[in-house]
Amino acid sequence: MAPFQPKRVAWSLRNSQAIPIILEFYPFIELQNNYFGGTTYLFSKIKTKKSSQIISISNLDFEKTSLPNWSFNPKLIKDTTAFSGNFSYLMDSDEEWGPLYKVSLKEIIKNKSDCIDLSIKAKSTNSFDGAILVVTLEVDGESIYWTSVELETPEVPDILSPEWNTYHVSLRLSDVYLNYSDVEFKTLIWNKGKSQLLIDDFKIELRDGNELVYGVFKKF
């Protein structure tokens, strides 16, 4: 018998990377209360009129050979296996840098307190060997913020898709100094060990952040 899963779950979180993981199972934010120093959420499996809008910025699923703001080698799109659809992207020893998404930050956000969530499906043929999903903000070619998550085989595989793993990284813009005329947003896969891996469903999404945190975005 499958374990009981409630239709709604409440959570208070400080770790912003945990939120997109919860959204995998409870894809709607029905309630979000922002405070100075923290946020409480009510997540739901059911969409209602109160649900917060989560905006899809881009979804690279490799069903097409090109997509706006993305750079990748279309010759590495493979139809042998995929997490969804018919195609995935193969990175091997000759491919140190994977698909790159690059855009001016002001084109994809609404407020400086927004959160940008990224996720990717990945499958290794032997070992990920240090491959990482990178997110960076740059001004005139120099990084002002950099974060990443390592692609590694989990100790407990996903029961529903044991061959593919999901990885998340979240960028909370309220943690970044953004008083520049133009900031460039970039994300890519860095295949440091030049291992062989397949990737699919590279998603970038936008959700409302906490405009009260640190007391710098909204006057009381």
Task: Give the chain's domain count.
Answer: 2
Residue 210: HSE in the Cβ half-sphere, 13 Å Cα cutoff: 21
In a domain, 218, yes or no: no
pLDDT for the residue numbered 161: 66
In a domain, 220, yes or no: no
C-alpha–C-alpha distance, residues 127 and 114, integer Å: 35
Helix (H) or strand (E) holding 21: helix 18-25
For 107-133, what is each residue's pLDDT tens digit?
A: 999 999 999 999 999 998 888 888 999
Same domain, 7 and 101: no
Same domain, 137 and 179: yes
C-alpha–C-alpha distance, residues 164 and 160, integer Å: 9
Percent residues over pLDDT 70 in the chain: 85
Range of the domain at 42: 1-52
Same domain, 113 and 47: no
Same domain, 142 and 186: yes
pLDDT band at 158 (very low <50, low <70, confident <90, very high): low
Same domain, 79 and 13: no
C-alpha–C-alpha distance, residues 96 and 195, integer Å: 9
Residue 102 forms beta bridges with which residues?
186
For 52-99, what is each residue's pLDDT tens digit?
A: 889 999 999 999 999 999 999 999 999 989 999 999 999 988 899 999
Same domain, 47 and 58: no
Mean pLDDT of the chain: 86
Same domain, 147 and 194: yes
Residue 107 Cα to chain centre, angstroms: 17
C-alpha–C-alpha distance, residues 192 and 93, integer Å: 10
Same domain, 113 and 61: yes
Same domain, 67 and 37: no
pTM: 0.85
Same domain, 77 and 177: yes
pLDDT for the residue numbered 136: 96
Same domain, 70 and 107: yes
